[in-house]
Amino acid sequence: MSLPSFCPYEEAADRQSPNRNLAPLTAAVDLAQQLWVGGCRLADLAAHYGTPLYVLDEATLRSSCQAYGKAMARHYPGEALVLYASKAHSSLAMAALMASEGLGLDVVSAGELLTGLAGGVDPQKMILHGNNKSVVELELAIDHGVTLVLDNWLELDLLEQLCHQRQQRVRLLIRFTPGIECHTHEYIRTGHLDSKFGFDPGELDMVLQRLARAPWAEVAGLHAHIGSQIFELQPHRDLAAVMVQAMGRARQLGHHPKDLNVGGGLGVRYVARDDPPAISTWVQAVCEALVAACEQQHQPLPRLLCEPGRSIVAPAGLTLYQVGSRKEIPGGRTYIAVDGGMSDNPRPITYQAPYTACLPQRCREAGTHTVTVAGKHCESGDVLLQNIALPPIRSGDLLAVLSTGAYNASMASNYNRIPRPAAVLVQDGQAVLVQRRETNQDLLRWDVLPEHLRQSDLAGIR
């Protein structure tokens, strides 16, 4: 078998940096033009588990985790910890896999925190984010010894009350906006000053001064994040200098910060024209900039934390659909509809995100027809792929959309009361279910029908 023709590294996938590939590392095409991933034929997975179906390649996931670990060991002379940003794809299986690779976890809700704990992640290697954490979420973090990323003044007040009541201390990273812009979608830029996340730089001194008088708080370090799906390296270099300066100020005000968390944001390849830096290149740029900033500002090397999410899980995933109806507009587009859409992948309608797709049962056929792949939802904007070249498509064909491991399952919804897909993890010819397919009955489970609206009571109203 050989690598599929849509892979950007024909016959030589970038195994050191999966984020630069369109297909999972184990993708291969047999002599019958059938696409296999993780030693499993995609057509067999679709037949057994149904469609839409999320498919995750375990080898690619592990390779991505190891790429970060090896690059950190190679380029950073101090201590480092990689935290998987679980918002990209949160599940028990994902948490357990990250823990097995030695990664920590970045969580943003009680649900993600509890998923991480249930998946076996060490709570001391977890941090809780959020710009409006609930009291329940704060209590969970305190009780389990999870580090909290302090985001705003209200949260500071709440933590002070809770820690006094519990007679407990809490470990904090202070999040601030570094004022660094990067070229990505405006919805996923977080480092510029006009952001809902973190303290403004002008507030940092006031926060540090107040916490210096707070025996319940341990200021363990600082956090900043500049955005997501970023291909540039310079903003990350600039971030290191800003954060080291802030850590120096924290020491002047009586704190002993050890951790410097630069967030994540490294992009991935969704279409052939995308050219993200390799994982090792990104890590090297961050590490060298941090070491240089510490030397220039006469500061000790901190423990370096980073939070990759998309770059770990996106290239490991693909989504299988079955093709249904077709509509040809004279002089216009040809629409091909699939049995999923914006409820299992909201990124195109939200961010105008592009993707690459293929027919997994006819991988080597040339893309001679330009079509637009639409979802089945009652929205004109429910379009997964705009003007993509594919072989002639028939109703019943399978369609594989690539690089869907991140922000697809985690952002999925029940719009139009459509059940969410199943997810399988593939490795060495074995597929294991990691998320059951929802059923129509599941959608009704949490609905409550008031007594006065039951059918027996409506006869008199009519």
Q: Report, as residue numbers or ranges, the catalytic residues.
A: 378
Contact 401, 35 (CB under 8 A): no
Strands (E) across 276-421 are located at 303-306, 317-328, 334-338, 357-358, 369-374, 383-390, 398-402
Can you tell me whether residue 49 is helix, strand or coil? Answer: helix
- Distance between terminal CA atoms of the chain? 66
Place of tokens 């959608």: 443
d(CA 72, CA 80): 7
Rounded to whole angstroms, the Cα distance separating 170 from 163 reads 7
Distance CA(460)–CA(143), nearest Å, equals 54
198: tokens are 């973190």
β-bridge mates for residue 98, sequence order: none
- Residue 247 and residue 221: Cα distance in Å, rounded? 7
Nearest to 93 by CA among 132, 54, 130, 141: 54
Looking at the DSSP bridge assignments, the partners of residue 171 are: 218
Question: What one-character DSSP code corresponds to residue 391?
Answer: S
The tokens of 63 are what?
């390779």
